[in-house]
Structure 1
Amino acid sequence: MSGRYFGFVLLVLFPVELHAQTAAEPCRAPRLVKGFVVPEQETYSHGTVVSYSCDNGHKPAVEGWWATSTCQNGVWSQPPQCIDNNACIPPVIPNAEYTATSDGWHPNKDVIRTKCDKGYEHKDYAATATCINGTWTPLPVCEKREDACDTPPQYPHTVIVNQKYQELFSVDSRVQYECEHGYTIDGTRTNKSVICMGGIWTEGPQCSRQTASSGHGGSGTAVGGAGSSGGGIHTVPVSRCGNPPLVEHAEVVETRDMFVRYQCNNYFDEVGPEEVMCLSDGTWSQLPTCESNHCFVDTDQNRKLLSVGMIFIKYGENMKLECKRHSSWLTEHHAVVQCTNGNLNIGECCSKYNQWSC
């Protein structure tokens, strides 16, 4: 076979590989107003890095007085952009989020309002920052809440399920453990879930090697002293009872052959058994109930407080909420909101510098 025909065969056999090698597209020259790009070309091949700077009175829309951008398959990474010197680039605020602008920068005197991540709170109740002549006023700081918990403890032969790893959990967070295959929950510590309470996790499970007599029992396990051989009521696989019954303010978080496990929603306390079983007469064993343990205030409907949506406060706790601005106030004002046995009390609006004025 001649070299000409051999080359034709290669093209027929390997069209995908050849296409992949030529798939990367070039970029058109970036359109940069009030600045210049080096090197200056009409098109740039994939992977080309350009540098750019801005005219007097302007600066790149990223950190520094010059910047770079890379052609990535027909698109510029961080497209070159020059903005007014008095504008601000988006700040980086750890453990917080805020509404970003669509054009990637903030004009002079623009104000951002931050929201701390779960488990964090604003230091000194400062939640806003203002762009002043190209520089942000002191940025809010989100610090760990005193009632938040660090990563849940690791117990031998266990793993946490249905939860991504994170370093901080807010109060009332609940995580669930599962035993390694071949191990089962020890009878003295049967709770698979732990809850963050006051900065400390409740006691977790202890998994021990499973034996023939361990576990939740087979379909002949007696309930209330009635044996399977005596015709009494006993537990059977949950599939025989159909779908688990609904429990108000709770969800089924685990389904096994012989039981289902419920978990109450946030701001509700679980009362009664955590595990529910199917009985041989077609009914379910006792269900848990979820009792409210909170008050709530709708700040969107409150004339005194700044509108931030629905706020929930647990029994016995209090929270400082920002008040709506008044033309005569020089600083932010806050009101203490308390929840006592289901009764909500909203205090007077006070400046943090003049608490005596309440």
Structure 2
Amino acid sequence: MWLTGLRFALLVWIPGLLHAVSEKPCGVPNLEYGYFIPVLESYPHDSDVTYTCDAGYKTTKEGWWVTIVCQDGHWSEKPECVLETACLPPVIPNGKFMQYQNGSFEINCDKGYSLNGRKIECHSGTWSEVSPCQRQTTACGQPPAVPDAVVIQAYQEVFEASSKVEYQCRDGFVTEGRQSKKIANCTAGEWVGTPRCIGDGLNRGSRVQAQQRPQVRLLSRVQHLVGPYGMDDVGRLRAGVLLLLLLLALSLNVYHAVGLRRERGGPVGVKVSRTSRCHGNRD
């Protein structure tokens, strides 16, 4: 038994040891116009360093100090201090900011957005404009909801002009053209060609509604019992207590039935019948 335990311990311990040995330490971070702590000759894997900048300089992140982590011989990011009058790369709503080594930059707006035409400049560490991307007048918002249908595409808030989305009717429903799917188009800021899903005539929709009727009846009974409070917080509390009591009563009935079946000598769930026969003596 102890040999089995030893084998298990070795199987767990040896891979972790080999992985720890293979992880490389990091050297001293290269940082100008700033300082960091702690100061060591090398930093083991998964250790961290915090740095800040000298007077007149600032970090390239939000806040006046930054923490970086050693990951297998490399720092999670390069530490950097820049002049306080320099502008940091801004977060552009609905767009992306790209800055080049020569100091020039470029802004690319997302689909459905375009530059508003205003000039963007850096003044003493602050950008003159941080929301240069505006929604195009020909773009469309999210496709309208259609009863008994869904959009077969990842959600997005704005669609550029000429975008297409595909609607699909739920099971048991089809479009007016007797198809399960239909394409809608973004035209001049409006969605054109959205479908209308109707029952396919195969009674699948009616079967779904029939399956929902017991729940509807139960909900109607609960709403009737909660009284004039409706389904606000008090009504939901009363409905929850009522449902709990109903479930408890049902459980007690089942438990009682199982107990009676066991007292009669038969296994639970099996109907037991006993037949008596009279055997006479043969002369």
**TM-score (normalised: structure 1):** 0.48
- Root mean square deviation of aligned Cα: 3.4
Counterpart in the other structure of 1:115? 108
Residue 50 of structure 1 contacts residue 69 of structure 1 at CA under 8 Å; is this kept in 2? Answer: yes
- Over 3 Å counting, the alpha-carbon distance change for 1:42 and 1:208 in structure 2 is farther
**TM-score (normalised: structure 2):** 0.59
Q: CA deviation at 1:198?
A: 2.5
Distance 2:35 2:171 in 1: 63
Residue 119 of structure 1 contacts residue 145 of structure 1 at CA under 8 Å; is this kept in 2? Answer: yes
Counterpart in the other structure of 2:10? 11
Distance 1:23 1:209 in 2: 63
Q: CA deviation at 1:152?
A: 0.7
**Is it true that 1:202 corresponds to 2:192 in the alignment?**
yes
Partner residue of 1:153 out of 144, 153, 161: 144
Secondary structure of the corresponding residue to residue 118 of structure 1 = coil
Greater strand content: 1
- Over 3 Å counting, the alpha-carbon distance change for 1:210 and 1:27 in structure 2 is farther
Report Cα offsets for 1:146-202 as digits up to 9, x if no partner: 2221111222332222x3211111122111112233432233899811112222212
Partner residue of 1:166 out of 156, 160, 168: 156
- Over 3 Å counting, the alpha-carbon distance change for 1:158 and 1:50 in structure 2 is same
Distance 1:56 1:95 in 2: 35
- Over 3 Å counting, the alpha-carbon distance change for 1:182 and 1:56 in structure 2 is same
Counterpart in the other structure of 2:43? 44
Residue 185 of structure 1 contacts residue 207 of structure 1 at CA under 8 Å; is this kept in 2? Answer: yes
Deviating more after overlay: 21-30 vs 111-120: 21-30
Counterpart in the other structure of 2:98? 99
Q: CA deviation at 1:21?
A: 6.5
Distance 1:179 1:72 in 2: 49
Number of matched pairs: 204
- Over 3 Å counting, the alpha-carbon distance change for 1:52 and 1:211 in structure 2 is same
Q: CA deviation at 1:33?
A: 1.8
RCO higher in structure (CA 8 A, sep ≥6): 2
Runs of 5+ unmatched residues, structure 2: 204-283
- Over 3 Å counting, the alpha-carbon distance change for 1:13 and 1:130 in structure 2 is closer
Secondary structure of the corresponding residue to residue 98 of structure 2 = coil
Q: CA deviation at 1:93?
A: 1.2
Greater helix content: 2
- Over 3 Å counting, the alpha-carbon distance change for 1:207 and 1:21 in structure 2 is farther
Q: Indicate the structure (1 or 2) with the bigger Cα radius of gyration.
A: 2
Q: Percent identity?
A: 35
- Over 3 Å counting, the alpha-carbon distance change for 1:190 and 1:63 in structure 2 is closer
Distance 1:167 1:23 in 2: 46
Runs of 5+ unmatched residues, structure 1: 214-358
Report Cα offsets for 1:193-222 as digits up to 9, x if no partner: 111222221241122343459xxxxxxxxx
